[in-house]
Amino acid sequence: MKTKYYVYGAAAPKIPYQPQREENQKVINIPKRKTVVQPEHRAVPLAQIIFCILIGFAIFFTLIFRFSAITELNCELAAQKQKLEQLKDENRKLQAKIGSQINLENVRRIAEEKLGMKMPDNYQRIPVKVPKVNYSLVTGTIPEREEKTLKSWITAYFAR
């Protein structure tokens, strides 16, 4: 029986050294070419190169022009929004001023003289508690918008 020799730390058996055959050791000489092959160069006309460069610059400058136009419109929009906010603030201040300057004595005089109204008797009066509102702190609320859908349009049309 043959004993197998194992390489230390491996489960593979050790293969005994075999000299390589001389046939495999022969160097194959490949003959070298004497002429060097030059790669083919495609000749690109100068007019095509210049045309492509001009097209590239035209596209580049068009993009720059569009971005500058968009930037200008954004600046105008920001200015308009700021103006709108100022007008809204001024409107709120004016409404608060009008609300605070209503003189109840003038309202009573106009109601009695021009409209012919009179003060109710004591048994006709109903006490009502009205909270005092600081108009400088009250902000306007935005009314909710109705969404226009096909269903709401149909129901509005047939509800008439």
**Per-residue pLDDT tens listing for the chain (160 residues):** 456 555 566 666 666 666 565 555 556 677 776 676 677 777 778 888 999 999 999 999 999 999 999 999 999 999 999 999 999 999 999 988 887 778 888 888 888 899 988 888 888 888 888 887 666 655 566 666 667 777 777 777 777 6
- What confidence score (pLDDT) does residue 75 get? 93
Dist CA 126 CA 110 (whole Å): 22
Instruction: Compute the C-alpha angle 55/57/59, nearest 5°.
Output: 70
- Tokens 């021009």 belong to which residue? 114
- What confidence score (pLDDT) does residue 80 get? 95
Distance of CA 140 to the CA centre of its chain: 28
- What confidence score (pLDDT) does residue 6 get? 54
84 closest CA partner among 117, 92, 53: 92
Instruction: Compute the C-alpha angle 60/61/65, nearest 5°.
Output: 125
Dist CA 95 CA 138 (whole Å): 11
Q: How many residues does the chain have?
A: 160
- What confidence score (pLDDT) does residue 155 get? 79
- What confidence score (pLDDT) does residue 5 get? 57
- Tokens 């005089």 belong to which residue? 109
- What confidence score (pLDDT) does residue 156 get? 78
Dist CA 75 CA 154 (whole Å): 42
